[in-house]
Structure 1
Amino acid sequence: MPHPATSAPALAPIISGVCHGTLGELIQGPWDGRDGEGIAIVSLPIRRYSRMWFHSGETGSHAQDLPAKSRCRAVIERYLALHRLALPPGRWRHASTLRVGAGMASSTADIVATIRCLDALFSRRSSPVAIAGLLGDLERSDPVFLDGLALYLSDQQRTVHQFGARPGFHACFIDEGGCVDTQDLSMPLRRHYAAHRPAYARLFGRMLPALHAGAAEVVADCATGSAHLSQSVLPKRHWDALQARRRELRAAGIVVAHTGSLIGYLFTRAPDPQHRAELSAFFRGLGEQAQFTQSTT
C-alpha cells in the first residue's frame, strides 16, 4: 500500500535589506546657500552593495550576530524604540562588496540596509527623512538612501537638491589602500575649505546646472576640479599619472573619494573590451588592479 504523500516542512522566511554604496564623490566642499552652510557632497552611487538578512525563527540576537557592526546594532535599537516594536526570534547576517574606510560609504550603506531589513520585517517603509533621522549622530553620512544624484549636507544629514537619474557614468578605478578616518580629517578639511572657498563656489556654480541638465561631460570636468583641489588635503599617489593619461585614455574626468583611498576615471559610455584592456594595462603599469563599475543612475 503506498505511503501517503507528505509535504516538506515550511521554511522560515528570510528577510533582507539592500543598499548601494558610492565611488567617492563627484564633488565635496564648503556650501554657503540660502538654506545654510555646511559640507556639501554629490556622491557617485554605484552598483556595489551592502546586504543585511534576518533569518526568522532562528536563535540569535543582534548583539551576538553583528559583533563588528556597532552602528547597525545601534540603529536597530533606535528603530525598535521609535516604533515601539520588539524583534521576533531570529538571527542576523551581513555581507558587503564595499571596502571599509576607502570612501565607498560602506558604514552608511550597512546602516541603511539594516533599516530596510527592519522595514521589510515589520511591513513598514521608512522615508528618506525618517532614515536621515535614524542616522542622527551615528555618523556623517552619504545620501545612499536616495534614488539618483543629490546635493547633500553630510554634516547635517540634509538634502539640498535632488537631480534624478541623469547623468549616469561608467568608471574604472583603483583603491590605493589604507583606511581613512574621516574624523581625523575634519579640521584639515575645514582649514582647506576656508582657504579655497571661491574655487569651490565656482565649481558648484558649474556643476549644479550641469546636473540639472544631465550634462555628463561638464559634471565629469567639475569632478576633476574637485579631485584636484582635494589633493591638498588627502593626496592620491597616482593623481599625476591619471591626469597625464586622461585624454589619451578617453576619460571624461577623474573621480576620487575625498576622504578615502579611491581614484579613477569617469566615462559617459561603457568602455568596450579593447578600451577595458587598455585601462587595465595602464593601471597594471602603476602596480594596481583596475576595477570597473557603473553608477546606479
Structure 2
Amino acid sequence: MFVTTLAGDARETRHPPVRTVSGVCHGTLGELFQGPVGAGPDPDIALVSFPVDRHSWVHFIPGTGPANTYGLGEKSATAARLFLDHYGLTLPPGRWSTHSDLRVGVGMASSTADIVATLRCLFRLFALPYDTDVVLGVLATIERADSVFLDEFALHLSNRHRVVRRLGTDIAFHTAFVTEPGTVDTAAVTPLLLEHYRRRGEEYARCLSDLLKGFASGDPAAVARAATTSATLSQEVLPKETFDDLLDHRERFGADGIFVAHTGCLIGYLFCRRPGPDVKSDLSAFFHSLGHQCSFAQGGYG
C-alpha cells in the first residue's frame, strides 16, 4: 500500500520558475509474453510488455490558473494528489494540458502511460529525481499496470507491481498491426486466464525460458518466436479472430513472429528488419481484405 509521508507538520511549497514543464511516457503494443510465473494453484501473472514509439504527454504551465488538477483525467489527478502527499508538497497555481496518441482500451497501456507522464511532469516541476519506487507506489494504489514506467524491457508482475527481471534495451522490432473491434475486461477474464495457466503451465514455462534466453543473447528472432508461442497459447482462452490468417501468411510476408495484446484487441507481425515499401503495400492490402486498416510502428529499443 502506498504510504504518505509529510515534511514535518507543514506542507512544503516550492515555486518553480514560470515555464512549461512536461512529462512523457511511451505506451505498448500489448505484450511479447503474458503468462504464469511460479508454481501452485494461484500463479502470478507475468508480463513482458512490448513498448511502442507512441506516447502520452502531460504539460503544466505554472502561474496561469488556480492550484488544482483540473485538466487531468481521474486517474492522473489521483496520481498527482498521491505524489504531492508523499513529498509533502503543494501544487503551485498553473494549468494542466494533456495529449496522447495511444488508443484507450485496446492494450496500449494508455491509462498507465497517462499516470506515469503525470508523475514525470511533477518530478520535473519540483526538480526531484525520478524515483521508480514512488511511481510503483502510486500505481499500486490506482491500478494494475504495465512496465511503461521503465525505459527498458522487463519481466513484470502486474498485479504485484514488482519487476522480476530487467531485460535491457538491445531488442527492437518493426511492426504491422491492427486493432480488432471490442474490448476486454481484464478483471472479469482473470479467473479464465488463471485456469488456462494451470492447464498449460509447462508450455508457458518453456515459452518464458525461450524468451528470456532470446533477450539474454540479444537475438530478436528468438524473442519473436517465443512471442508467437505466447500469442498462440493465448488464442486458446482469449482468441483473436484474425490470428489464424496472420499465422498462415506469416512466411509470405517474411515476418519473424506474431504479437498480441493478450487481454486487449491488438494483433500484428514482428519484423527484425524494416519491411520495404512493396511489403508494406502488400501487408496493407492483406489486412484490408480482413476488414482492418493496418498501422506501422517501431517497437522496443535497440
Q: State the TM-score, normalized to the length of structure 2.
A: 0.90
The letter for the 2-side match of 1:196 is: R
| 1:60/1:92 contact within 8 Å kept | no
Query: Aligned partners of 1:252 and 1:201: how far apart in 2?
Result: 21
Query: Aligned partners of 2:57 and 2:253: how far apart in 1?
Result: 34
1:282 deviates by 0.8
Query: Aligned partners of 2:103 and 2:68: how far apart in 1?
Result: 22
| 2:46/2:157 contact within 8 Å kept | yes
Query: Aligned partners of 1:28 and 1:183: how far apart in 2?
Result: 15
2:94 maps to what in 1? 90
Structure 1, 175-184 or 279-288: larger mean CA deviation: 175-184
1:266 maps to what in 2? 270
Deviations, residues 119-162 of structure 1 (Å, cap 9, x unaligned): 11100122222211121131111010112211111111111111
1:210 deviates by 1.0
1:16 maps to what in 2? 22
Structure 1, 242-251 or 134-143: larger mean CA deviation: 134-143
Deviations, residues 222-254 of structure 1 (Å, cap 9, x unaligned): 101110111122211101110110011110000
| 1:101/1:181 contact within 8 Å kept | no
| 1:17/1:52 contact within 8 Å kept | yes
1:61 deviates by 5.3
Query: Aligned partners of 2:123 and 2:241: how far apart in 1?
Result: 42
1:37 deviates by 5.0
Determine helix, strand or coil for the equivalent of 1:186: helix
Q: 2:282 aligns with which of 278, 282, 287?
A: 278
Query: Aligned partners of 1:62 and 1:188: how far apart in 2?
Result: 41
Determine helix, strand or coil for the equivalent of 1:137: helix
1:259 deviates by 0.5
1:247 maps to what in 2? 251
Determine helix, strand or coil for the equivalent of 1:217: helix
1:205 maps to what in 2? 209
Task: Sort the Cα spacing of 1:290 and 1:270 in 2 relative to 1 into closer, same or farther, 3 A.
Answer: same
Determine helix, strand or coil for the equivalent of 1:64: coil
Deviations, residues 6-28 of structure 1 (Å, cap 9, x unaligned): xxxxx941110000000000000
Count of residues in correspondence between the two structures: 283
| 2:58/2:98 contact within 8 Å kept | yes
2:157 maps to what in 1? 153
2:10 maps to what in 1? none
| 1:149/1:166 contact within 8 Å kept | no
1:182 deviates by 1.4
Identity of aligned pairs, percent? 46
| 2:32/2:49 contact within 8 Å kept | yes
1:8 maps to what in 2? none
RMSD: 1.5
Deviations, residues 19-47 of structure 1 (Å, cap 9, x unaligned): 000000000000018xx951111111010
Task: Sort the Cα spacing of 1:149 and 1:259 in 2 relative to 1 into closer, same or farther, 3 A.
Answer: same
1:228 maps to what in 2? 232
Query: Aligned partners of 1:63 and 1:152: how far apart in 2?
Result: 30
The letter for the 2-side match of 1:96 is: S
Corresponding position: 1:56 with 2:66: no
1:165 maps to what in 2? 169
Q: 1:26 aligns with which of 32, 35, 51?
A: 32
Query: Aligned partners of 1:120 and 1:139: how far apart in 2?
Result: 23
2:84 maps to what in 1? 80
Structure 1, 24-33 or 54-63: larger mean CA deviation: 54-63
Q: State the TM-score, normalized to the length of structure 1.
A: 0.92
1:3 maps to what in 2? none
2:294 maps to what in 1? 290
Listed as ranges, the gaps of 5+ residues in structure 2 are 1-16
| 1:224/1:253 contact within 8 Å kept | yes
2:138 maps to what in 1? 134
1:5 maps to what in 2? none
Query: Aligned partners of 1:125 and 1:195: how far apart in 2?
Result: 44
